Amino acid sequence: MCTLAVNPCVKFQFPHFHRRRRQKRASSCHCNTRIMMVAFSLPQNSSIQLRSSLLPQNTQYLNRAPQFLPVNDVITCGMRSKEARVFPRLCHAISEKESSNSLGATAKNNNPIIVIDNYDSFTYNLCQYMGELGCNFEVYRNDELTVDELRKKNPRGILISPGPGAPQDSGISLQTVWELGPDVPLFGVCMGLQCIGEAFGGKIVRSPSGVMHGKSSLVYHNEGGEDGLFAGISNPFTVGRYHSLVIEKESFPSNALEITAWTEDGLVMAARHKVYRHLQGVQFHPESIITTEGKTIVANFIKLIESKEAVSAT
């Protein structure tokens, strides 16, 4: 039996599941802090994906809960085929009330953060975090535009989402790391980190820990006293992992990158470029409910963008 906390503004259709309790939707849509509990049983090797949309006031959020994956799903993370994707590209519109209190409200650069969506079910959870932090962003699938077209948009930053498969399956993601990573703040999540590793000579291999879909791990970090993705984060802290591939530690490109976080068994959980400090990534999912301080990590990426903009302005 699984119990899931979700937004009460969602309508569910579970033809084979028993819905134990449902909280009625309030007449107002100001319900960010309210939850409902749904309990259901799943047959072996089944999967479920939940999506919800929430529009409080003038702000649009799209919240998509992580899915439960089949136990024999070896490499994929999130949705397993491009054909399964039905969501259009979403641009987040910041409400007047939100922007006045948001992290990015004082930023002079109004250009968007570009999110490269690798056809993954977690992408819009990351987008919701950025929206809640007051960011203007645009989402493009990894085959929707070229790197040159991306460059012309002059993004403040780039977020490369998780996705199924390996970096070779990530559309423009790998090329984006090569061509734009040195100049534009870039944050890779899960396969996004693997793209960073492969771009600088690392080898992507199957994790010796096996398939890690929806599993928690303690992660340790060390950024050498610098304020990076893990500024203000407990050490160690708990993360949610949804992957079966990792950057091989033996072939880790230490001439270009440095490891900033790792598991108890020594697997690479985060890395950044030694010269381009704004080029960083994590193997775990900061947007997962399992990750205890994931939103702070996303906020720290935004701070990296703002720091680079401040330096460029001087």
CB atoms within 10 A of CB 200: 21
Helix 123-132 / helix 294-313 crossing angle, nearest 10 deg: 60
**pTM to 2 decimal places:** 0.70
Backbone φ, ψ for residue 188 (5° rounding): -105, 135
Between CA 116 and CA 104 the distance in angstroms is: 20
Whether residues 80 and 222 share a domain: the answer is: yes
Whether residues 12 and 140 share a domain: the answer is: no
Assign residue 198 the CATH number of its domain: 3.40.50.880
Whether the per-residue pLDDT at 65 is higher than 70: the answer is no
Whether residues 21 and 77 share a domain: the answer is: no
Whether the per-residue pLDDT at 11 is higher than 60: the answer is no
Between CA 224 and CA 118 the distance in angstroms is: 31
Q: So which residues are the catalytic ones?
A: 190, 285, 287
Q: Give the CB-side neighbour count of residue 265, counting CA atoms within 13 A.
A: 7
In a domain, 10, yes or no: yes
In a domain, 143, yes or no: yes
Average pLDDT over residues 229-239: 97
Between CA 215 and CA 194 the distance in angstroms is: 19
Q: What is the mean pLDDT of the chain?
A: 75
From residue 270, give the alpha-carbon distance in Å to each of 128, 160, 245, 266: 22, 14, 13, 11
Percent of the chain scoring above 70 in pLDDT: 66
In a domain, 58, yes or no: no
Model confidence band, residue 265 (pLDDT cutoffs 50, 70, 90): very high
Whether residues 105 and 208 share a domain: the answer is: yes
Backbone φ, ψ for residue 77 (5° rounding): -135, 120
In a domain, 67, yes or no: no
Which residue range(s) make up the domain with 273? 73-313
Average pLDDT over residues 26-36: 35
In a domain, 165, yes or no: yes
Whether residues 276 and 187 share a domain: the answer is: yes
Whether residues 86 and 120 share a domain: the answer is: yes
Average pLDDT over residues 151-158: 97
Model confidence band, residue 55 (pLDDT cutoffs 50, 70, 90): very low
User: Alpha-carbon dihedral of residues 209, 211, 215, 217, nearest 10 degrees?
Assistant: 20
Whether residues 148 and 282 share a domain: the answer is: yes
Whether residues 189 and 244 share a domain: the answer is: yes
Q: What is the per-residue pLDDT for 225?
A: 82
In a domain, 68, yes or no: no
Whether residues 256 and 107 share a domain: the answer is: yes
Q: What is the per-residue pLDDT for 314?
A: 76
Euclidean distance between the first and the last CA atom of the chain, given in angstroms as a whole number:
57
Whether the per-residue pLDDT at 22 is higher than 70: the answer is no
Six token digits for residue 240: 């949610």
Average pLDDT over residues 240-257: 95
Six token digits for residue 15: 């033809």
Whether residues 254 and 218 share a domain: the answer is: yes
Long-range contacts of range 200-204, CB-CB < 8 Å, 24 or more positions apart? 200/253, 200/256, 200/257, 200/273, 201/251, 201/253, 201/255, 201/256, 202/247, 202/248, 202/251, 202/252, 202/253, 202/257, 203/247, 203/248, 203/251, 204/166, 204/167, 204/245, 204/246, 204/247, 204/248
In a domain, 301, yes or no: yes
Whether residues 32 and 93 share a domain: the answer is: no
Which one of 3-17, 97-111, 145-159 scores highest in mean pLDDT? 145-159
Whether residues 232 and 97 share a domain: the answer is: yes
Quick: pLDDT tens for 293-309: 999 999 999 999 999 99
Q: What is the per-residue pLDDT for 108?
A: 59
Average pLDDT over residues 30-42: 40
Between CA 216 and CA 242 the distance in angstroms is: 9
In a domain, 1, yes or no: yes
Cβ contact 103:157 at 8 Å: no
Q: What is the per-residue pLDDT for 121?
A: 86
Domain count, the chain: 2
Average pLDDT over residues 151-173: 95
Quick: pLDDT tens for 99-131: 334 454 444 578 999 999 999 988 999 999 999
Higher pLDDT, 2 or 129: 129
Between CA 250 and CA 234 the distance in angstroms is: 27
- Residues 174-190 as b/e (b if ≥16 CB within 10 A, e otherwise) read bebbebbbeebbbbbbb
